[in-house]
Structure 1
Amino acid sequence: MTVSSAGVLLRPENAAEDSRTRARKRARLPDLRRWISPLALILLWQLASSSGVLPPEKLSSPLTVLQSGIDTARSGELGDAFAVSVGRVAIGFLLGAAVAMLLGIAAGLSRWGDVLIDPPVQMLRTLPFLGLIPLFILWFGIGEAPKIVLVALGVAFPLYLNVHSGIRNVDDQIIEATTALGFTRTERLWHVVLPAAVPQPLVGLRQSLGIAWLALIVGETVNADAGLGYLINNAREFLRTDVIVVGLIVYAILGLATDALVRLIERRALRWRA
């Protein structure tokens, strides 16, 4: 028997349950110790800038970067660039993900699909897609299309590989069990194959979003007239390292935010694994 904080006697099993509840609550809270090293690095950065070890033309101090971020946000310049970049990633991601899902499912479910689709995709995957920028400019001009196609291409390959692999690696014994239970092909696909394959496409989704932001950074620094990449490129011309760092921080925050969103979806979608 134990006594709770309210003075009520608890049975051992109730106390164990209470301790498990507290442990789950602690697990949900962020671990503040993970902030120690980032804050220490920012402090060292500020000290190096204040002492003159790190000159401002090489890298502005954190306080200067913070002030520049506030100024560009107030002027609306940062907000406009943010909206343009997010729009490009959203369109490119939707296009790339749709193509990757269709090709991955077709190649994963069908032998003929695997024979006809997988070889050319594997050949194209080995190309350095960032090196295709000059070709995209020749094909699509210098407008929005090359940037969106670059993002879509970066998204498509990792997502395709994970969708294809997830479907192909479904346990054969589960498939045999559904056959013995009299499942139709559609029921087997909808209730067994696709749910069992979900974990790997979610991994591919996280990889794809990371590559999408990388592709956008490169695309926006080439013949762009708007967006975060244009903001960074324009700041480089005037040696504004503070604005450059602001743009890079926004890119990093967007990447972390999209990754956290996918992890949230993963926890919701894969609750059955627990």
Structure 2
Amino acid sequence: MSSIEIADAIDEKPAAPPARPASRVGLRLAGFLLPVVLAIIWEILVRAGLANGRLMPPPSVVGRTLWQLAVSGELWTHAAATLWRVAAGFGIGAAVGTALGALTGALPLARGLLDPTLQALRAIPSIAWVPLFILWFGIFEASKVALIAVGVFFPVYLGVAAAILSIDRKIVEVGRVFRLGRLAMVRRVLLPAILPDWFTALRGGLGLGFMFVVAAEIMGASEGLGYLLVDGQQLGRPDTIIAAIIAFAVLGKLADGLLLALTRPFLAWQDTARDRL
């Protein structure tokens, strides 16, 4: 073997291991195994008379309630109202959080002026904003969307600011070595460096948006899954409460999956350990 062939063999990158889609699908399906097994066990215990299903209805009763709500159209009305509120609040909170996070992360002066106040506001419980937003915006949609936007804002703000502050100085020096302009530096170096943390912050903000929508819909809503929760409590219907909780879980998971699918193409350049497992 010649010296050129030896050098080529040394420089050759190891081939990536073949993808195993079947095993990944199996792992995703296994994630549903635990709740299904727990539901079956509870159903058996209630039917055998070993557990009281009055306050914690068995899956058959909850499933029947969900079916009745779906057939009547009530479930879709409540779900659509909740999704609209979360989408509006998420859009506003994510946009403002990204802008202020980038501002305080990039400019020391803005960080010194704004960050202490925002950190103090972050410690305020969500329910404490309710009376103020009702006073400002009334009991209609504006106050609910504002409360959700507040919940989304803080994780996005913190994620973006922290991502900018934690950019490795070495990759910035590499960009300067290649004499990248200001815009090229942002597009080719800085933006890719913060994208993973930004998308993670967006997912965290979306999760908090679904949490805050419950508090938003409790304050005088006439429709929405949060209203369905309160209605179940007032009527003494634990099956309705659990049905609303399940609907929240399904919608939250679908929304998170959609956000993950939309952001994944922007991270296709990453070579992570997860892609090789």
Q: CA deviation at 1:130?
A: 2.6
Superposition RMSD in Å: 1.9
Alignment correspondent of 1:145: 142
Give distance in 2, aligned partners of 1:24 and 1:56.
Answer: 43
| 1:167–1:194 Cα contact (<8 Å) kept | no
Alignment correspondent of 1:198: 195
* Segment of structure 1 superposing worse, 244-253 or 30-39: 30-39
- Structure 1 residue 30 and structure 2 residue 26: aligned? yes
Distance 1:33-1:187 versus aligned 2 partners, 3 A rule? closer
Alignment correspondent of 1:118: 115
Give distance in 1, aligned partners of 2:51 and 2:221.
Answer: 31
* Segment of structure 1 superposing worse, 88-97 or 117-126: 117-126
| 1:57–1:239 Cα contact (<8 Å) kept | no
Give distance in 2, aligned partners of 1:107 and 1:145.
Answer: 27
Q: CA deviation at 1:40?
A: 1.7
Give distance in 2, aligned partners of 1:20 and 1:183.
Answer: 35
Q: CA deviation at 1:225?
A: 0.9
Give distance in 2, aligned partners of 1:121 and 1:96.
Answer: 14
Give distance in 2, aligned partners of 1:139 and 1:48.
Answer: 50
Alignment correspondent of 1:102: 99
TM-score by structure 1 length?
A: 0.87
Alignment correspondent of 2:255: 258
Alignment of 1:207-246 (within 5 A): 207-246=204-243
| 1:221–1:229 Cα contact (<8 Å) kept | yes
Distance 1:105-1:20 versus aligned 2 partners, 3 A rule? closer
Give distance in 2, aligned partners of 1:68 and 1:263.
Answer: 31
> Percentage identity across aligned positions?
35
> Once the two structures are superposed, what CA deviation does each residue of 1:113-139 show, in whole Å capped at 9, x if it has no partner?
222222221121121123221222222
Q: CA deviation at 1:56?
A: 4.1
> Once the two structures are superposed, what CA deviation does each residue of 1:29-60 show, in whole Å capped at 9, x if it has no partner?
23244333222210121123223444343122
Distance 1:85-1:272 versus aligned 2 partners, 3 A rule? same
TM-score by structure 2 length?
A: 0.86
> Once the two structures are superposed, what CA deviation does each residue of 1:205-235 show, in whole Å capped at 9, x if it has no partner?
1111111111011221221111111112112
Give distance in 2, aligned partners of 1:35 and 1:145.
Answer: 37
| 2:39–2:59 Cα contact (<8 Å) kept | yes
| 1:56–1:241 Cα contact (<8 Å) kept | no
> Once the two structures are superposed, what CA deviation does each residue of 1:140-168 show, in whole Å capped at 9, x if it has no partner?
22111221111100000001101011111
Letter in 2 for 1:136: F
Letter in 2 for 1:168: L
* Segment of structure 1 superposing worse, 137-146 or 100-109: 137-146
Give distance in 1, aligned partners of 2:189 and 2:141.
Answer: 40
> Once the two structures are superposed, what CA deviation does each residue of 1:88-132 show, in whole Å capped at 9, x if it has no partner?
000000010110011011112222222222222112112112322
- Structure 1 residue 187 and structure 2 residue 184: aligned? yes
Gaps of 5+ in 2: 1-14, 272-277
Give distance in 1, aligned partners of 2:234 and 2:50.
Answer: 24
